[in-house]
Structure 1
Amino acid sequence: MSKVPAGWELLTIGHIADTVMGFAFKSSDFVQTGTPLLRMGNLYQNEFNLNRNPVFLPEKFKDQYPRFIVKSGDLVMSMTGTMGKQDYGFTVKIPVGSKVALLNQRVLKFISKKNNNSEFLLNVLRSDLTLSLLYSLPGGTKQANLSAKQIQELPVLVPPIPEQTKIAQILSTWDKAITTTEQLIGNSQQQKKSLMQSLLTGKKRLPGFEGEWFKATLGNVSKPQQWPTITSNQLTDSGFKVFGANGFIGYYSDYNHEFECVTVTCRGSTCGEVSLIPAKSYITGNSMCLDDIESLINSYRYIYYALCHRGFNDVISGSAQPQIIGAAIKKIKIALPPLQEQQKIAAVLTAADNEIELLQKKLAFLKQEKAALMQQLLTGKRRVNVETA
């Protein structure tokens, strides 16, 4: 813990907030409609969502279990997760207008003491410093099971109430910018999805284009093949980029694709994922490369978008180890307009991707800057000016 700034105190979470652990409600009490039950899955990735696998309890339970009621403005934390994945410790402030819910077991509610600022507490609980302490706590072998006592004993630097409020206001401004950018990304992704649905099916034609489309198999328009896989020992610290089933994995002394290439992951958890691999890359045998697409007849970028839209669920086999075989890839059919229309459609969708990418970079920048600011404000390394009455 950092040095205590002048005017601050080194306390624990238990000094500034009481905690209530949720109740082990019985599944036999679940009903079709009623009071929502707030479970850990509703707090995934610091996002509150009662519509994720909703469960309900009888309305009368609100009167029978008043201690476990959660409402707008309350802070709640998930207390169990998989060790190593760090999917516990998610903390959420229940949004304004949310339905009153009941708190399930392994979810912790915070109740601020002595008018301590709840937004300040939220930022403390989400800070890298607090999370690093959480993830270092012993909690079992396969699962991390945090206790209320462990949370209450976490150290925290606490400024006076006016300074807490000012810090919370500053960080809230960043949160609003982050939320706005996330909404813009969501809107852009939805617009792109609508464009793909209309343009790649011919339901909507771009100006200046008409005439029939035709269908062809991937085996007709390309040469689907898998290239030799290289071992991890063969990877180097520099050279040409290597791409496997999960994307970029390192560098190699040579490349097997001189130009940009469309690939389909053909095994593993990402089976069926379509990618555009940059020029001068080595593509391992975990992906099917759609080689030799004749650029005078078809646009490889159009084919990429057409396959993203189509998906591969109907040709994936196996459950423990999903895979797609070359024979199945070759038989897949896609609708192909004339080359110029393919190129125009691909250009429209590429522009949509570029817009989303720019917004994602902006979002990453905002989150990085906010994290750096939190580190300074919550440790007192940067002090805020508090206006006196």
Structure 2
Amino acid sequence: MQQSPENLIYTTQEISNSYKRTILKKGDLVFPLRGKIGTVGLINDELVGANLTRGVALIALKKSNPIFLKQLFGSNRILKQLYSSMNGSALQEITIDTLKKFKVVMPDLIEQQKIATALSDTDALISELEKLIEKKQAIKTATMQQLLTGKTRLPEFALREDGTPKGYKDSELGQIPEDWELLSFSEVCTFINGRAYGLHEWEKRGTPVIRLQNLTGRGGDYYYSTLNLPAKQYCDYGDLLFMWSARFGPVIWKGQKAIYHYHIWKIVCNENVDKDFLYLTLEDMTENLKRGSSSGGTMLHVTKEIMESTLAIFPPHAEQLRIASVLNGIIQEIELLVEKLNKLKNIKQGMMQELLTGKTRLV
């Protein structure tokens, strides 16, 4: 839990002093009793002197290292106790009396400090890596906005044959590069509908059927089909898919030969359009739609007819390839950083399991 003085509610000093037991000191731990249960905050200098509101417990320490205790409350062992002790279904909560009954294993203060330092050092590495990924994501977004609109031209495509800079022309989407084309998606690719399945058609073997949750990471289990379908109903590794309902946007399929479900289109590009460039164009378009959506882009929906008639700008094929190459380089760099971050988080969980249970002792 990150603490920040922003978005706080303020009161008078007189009222604050009348609730002295809720005044926070540096090193105090705060614990939400409902909502984000299991998230522990460590009070920093900016929040010293603030009052605690209802629904959050103050953990005032007695001969304990605050950083060690914060790590302990974030461990799997404590989280399991918390989840098994929560009341309610729609709005789960836990009481202070329940928290008081928790039993924890505590080393002496010296060992607490050593463990806290080791885990905090790992947290610092994780935090720096997360900041770097966020920075790279911002660079990717800005670069996409420049290259995919032609506002910035790669050097080898920026000049005419006589050496003068290429200009811009008017279009329905505003100013576009003079040598780019404004085309509808139906002119550059074909959208192929997925197939709907009845419950009686699901099998435990055969060809996997890709559903939305298989593409979004929200569920890895596949249903299977033994039906013999037309070739266009199958997709292979590297094919471009598009989720047109609920979880919205393009995906490059990275799995084995499969069948795609009704809420997914397979997109087949024409010869003059690069698949990677089209993927990036669709990603940029859908991210803009999500940012402008009141639902945060989680429940968008588009029809095939609307998609086919949507206009986008396309450079010559050679420039498409170069733009895709530049952007894919940034994307691959981000993917490597995310992979490194996930490994580091797994290492941290392993350290917590060993150090906070005493299975491994620090010298």
TM-score by length of 1: 0.76
Q: Deviations over 1:25-66 (max 9, x none)?
A: xxxxxxxxxxxxxxxxxxxxx444555xx2422353444434
Give the distance between the partners of 1:259 and 1:349, measured in 2 at CA.
20
Query: What is the distance in 2 between the residues matched to 1:169 and 1:315?
Result: 43
2 CA distance for matches of 1:233 and 1:59?
66
Aligned length: 328
**Equivalent residue in structure 1 for 2:210, among 243, 247, 258:** 243
Aligned match of 2:122:
174
Change (3 A) 1:377 1:324: same
Contact 1:315 1:324 in 2 (8 A): no
CA distance in 2, matches of 1:256, 1:158: 57
State the AA in 2 paired with 1:274.
P
Is the contact between residue 79 and residue 107 of structure 1 (CA under 8 Å) also seen in structure 2?
yes
Shift in Å, 1:281:
3.1
Cα 1:109–1:244 change in 2 (3 A) is same
Pairing of 1:235-274 with structure 2 (within 5 A): 241-248=208-215, 249-250=221-222, 252=224, 256-258=234-236, 260-268=238-246, 270=247, 272-274=248-250
Kindly tell me: are residues 93 and 203 of structure 1, through their superposed partners in 2, closer, same or farther at Cα, counting changes over 3 Å? same
CA drift of 1:252 comes to: 3.3
Deviations, residues 130-179 of structure 1 (Å, cap 9, x unaligned): 00110001412322111111112111001111111111111111111111
SS of aligned partner of 1:56: coil
Distance in 2 of aligned mates of 1:236 and 1:126? 41
Candidates 344, 352, 363, aligned match of 2:330: 352
SS at match of 1:186: helix
Aligned residues of 1:266 and 1:324 also touching (Cα < 8 A): yes
Change (3 A) 1:197 1:94: farther
Matched, 1:282 2:230: no
State the alpha-carbon separation in 2 of the partners of residues 190 and 320 from structure 1: 21
Contact 1:316 / 1:323 at 8 angstroms: preserved in 2? no
User: In the TM superposition, what whole-angstrom CA distance separates every residue of 1:68-107 from its partner, at most 9, and x where no partner exists?
Assistant: 23365432122113xxxxx422112234545754322211
Residue identity matched to 1:58: T
Equivalent residue for 1:363? 341
CA RMSD of aligned residues (A): 2.9
Identity of aligned residues (%): 27
Aligned to 2:24: 70
Q: Distance in 1 between matches of 2:237 and 2:265?
A: 15
State the match for 2:175 in structure 1. Answer: none
Shift of 1:323: 2.5
Instruction: Give, in whole Å, the separation in 1 of the partners of 2:72 and 2:290.
Output: 43
1:340 to 2:288 alignment: no
The residue number in structure 1 matching 2:361 is 383
Alignment of 1:1-389 (within 5 A): 46-48=1-3, 51=6, 54-60=7-13, 61-70=15-24, 72-81=26-35, 87-97=36-46, 101-114=50-63, 116-210=64-158, 211-230=178-197, 241-248=208-215, 249-250=221-222, 252=224, 256-258=234-236, 260-268=238-246, 270=247, 272-278=248-254, 280-290=257-267, 292-294=268-270, 296-311=271-286, 312=289, 322-385=300-363
Deviates more, 1:196-205 or 1:137-146: 137-146
What is the alpha-carbon distance in structure 2 between the residues aligned to residue 227 and residue 252 of structure 1? Answer: 14
Q: Distance in 1 between matches of 2:29 and 2:126?
A: 20
Where in structure 2 are there 5+ consecutive unaligned residues? 159-177, 216-220, 227-232
Structure with the bigger percentage of helix = 2
Q: What is the CA distance between 1:247 and its match in structure 2?
A: 3.0
Q: Is the 8 A contact 2:355 2:361 kept in 1?
A: yes
CA distance 1:200–1:178, shift in 2 (3 Å):
same
In structure 1, the gaps of 5 or more residues are 1-45, 82-86
Counterpart amino acid of residue 301 in structure 2: Q
Aligned equivalents of 1:356 and 1:159: distance in 2?
40
Contact 2:147 2:153 in 1 (8 A): yes
- The Cα offsets for residues 220-275 of structure 1, whole Å up to 9 and x where unpaired, read as 1111232103457756667655432233442635771135233332222x2x2222
TM-score by structure 2 length?
Answer: 0.81
Q: What SS does the corresponding residue of 1:156 show, helix, strand or coil?
A: coil
**Counterpart secondary structure, 1:57:** coil
The 1:313–1:182 alpha-carbon spacing in structure 2 relative to 1, beyond 3 Å, is closer
Contact 1:223 1:293 in 2 (8 A): yes
Q: Which moved more, 1:372-381 or 1:251-260?
A: 251-260
2-structure distance, mates of 1:237, 1:356? 36
In 1, the alpha carbon distance for the partners of 2:354 and 2:258 equals 41
